[in-house]
Structure 1
Amino acid sequence: MQRVLGKKNNQHGFSLFEIIIVLALIGTIAVVIIPNLKLSVDSQMSTSLRNLTGQIRSAYDDAIFSGRIHRMVFDIKNGEFWVEQAPLGYEGRPPILDSESESESLKKRDKRAEVLKVLDDKYKDLSDRPMPTTSGESKNYSIRSIAVVQRKVLKPIDWKEINDAVIYRQKLSSGIIFAQVLSSISAKKFDYVEIQSNSDKTKKEFAYIYFLPNGTATSTSIKLAMANKDNPNTISETGPKYTLNLNSLTGECNLLEGFQDANFSLPKR
């Protein structure tokens, strides 16, 4: 009599070695993917910072080489920035008059000479040195006088946007915003949250950096951050934050992590 044996059950559990391999693979995937979620955000910020600092430096250099005043325009609401240049020969302040009588007559009916003198004297008192100028030994540029003259004193001029292979209109990477722009020429803080919460949605808010042909620029502090995904009109509390400070005498940008308050006081000799 032949005994029929049942089929041998070949099913068995995972060995310890196989479990270790699977756990190792899961760990490797987690190590690679999870940090990349943050890395994608940081790379967007890095791209925005790199593009912004590059355009600032290009505008600074082009103002010197072309002999024209340049300004960088910041559209806080839309996260755009671009560079414009003034007409050739425009110095950002009234020209010196040939006749003393003509000059005296102008002073009596026009306050711009008085305004400029006060601003220039204030700058010299703060820095203990005159601001160099592109022409004329008797003239001193005041960093603060540029915006005052351009906006309130002289007739509006036609600023021409630059669009070439090096300088062109750009937009911050998706989700990156100008959290705040503060300039030494204005007491106003251009704040992203305040601008977005303004009931007048048609109102445009622009901040400026002015670059002079003599190699100076308006001291400016730019804060970049991530917009809140749930409420794009606010700033993300957990996202990366950086402060970019522009040196007015060298055109160099100093990058600081986090939001840092700007100090526009000028060192004395």
Structure 2
Amino acid sequence: MRVAVVGTGAIGVSWAAHFLAHGLDVVATDPAPGAEERLRAGVAEIGADAARLSFTTDAGEAAAAADFVQENAPEREDVKHALFAVLDAAARPDVVLASSSSGMLPTAIATACTAHPERVVVGHPFHPPHLVPLVEVVPGERTSEAAVDAAMAFYTGVGKKPIRLRQELPGHIANRLQAALWREAYSLVDRGVASVADIDAAISHGPGLRWAVLGPFANQHLSGGPGGIAHVLEHLGPPTEAWWRDLGHPTMTPELERKIVEGVDEELAGVDPAALARYRDTVVRAVLAAKERTP
């Protein structure tokens, strides 16, 4: 099977490495000068074998040769429309066109596809795709069930954990959940309740550990003891509603931006960002390995 990776920035490089590691042929495309060299260097750094990797600057050529298309262009509607018009014209009618878009709606993306808009989906990964299993599959108004089923099967076949959205929403699911957490984290910083470092510690040494194993509903169910989530909702439902009403509504002012940037600089003073990313990836791999070993 051959996958076209369209756009070879950080997400595209990671996708290419993931597909290669799962035994697929990859034809990558990007019009930027030096894109192929950066792609091959990135794939090598991740540790994937590039023997089955080819490159072209022609997106239509890549799509015409592919059995599945994973697009990773900039998050701009004009760019997506111009690109999907090319992909739609070039790819075989049965080939799914999946966008890695983190927030755009597939219905809007598919308006550029005059031939086969029914095969357009969002296939949103979580960074980095070669490591984090989640993929959000989002159909648009004209997407066929066959395209959704094909995308779900494809991602499952390359070791991902795809979930299907039943409704289009800006930001899909996981980014909206993150945005809810970020909103309150930014508000706490803005109000002087806690430092950036303490908020990071509160998550990474607290609920984040549980969230890496089970989701919010399953964890809440366990916290209810024998009564499960029904007990939690009965006893903590009213206080939770009060907390919701007290959550902040921050505005991204220059002052708040300054507080956040200074807080991160203070928290990570002297820490090499590349080393920090390697630490994160090593721990994530260990967590994933532990989950695989544990029934």
Q: TM-score range, shorter-chain basis? A: under 0.3
Q: TM-score, normalised by structure 2?
A: 0.23
Q: TM-score, normalised by structure 1?
A: 0.25
| Higher fraction of helix | 2
| Higher fraction of strand | 1
- Which one has more relative contact order, counting CA pairs under 8 Å at least 6 apart? 1
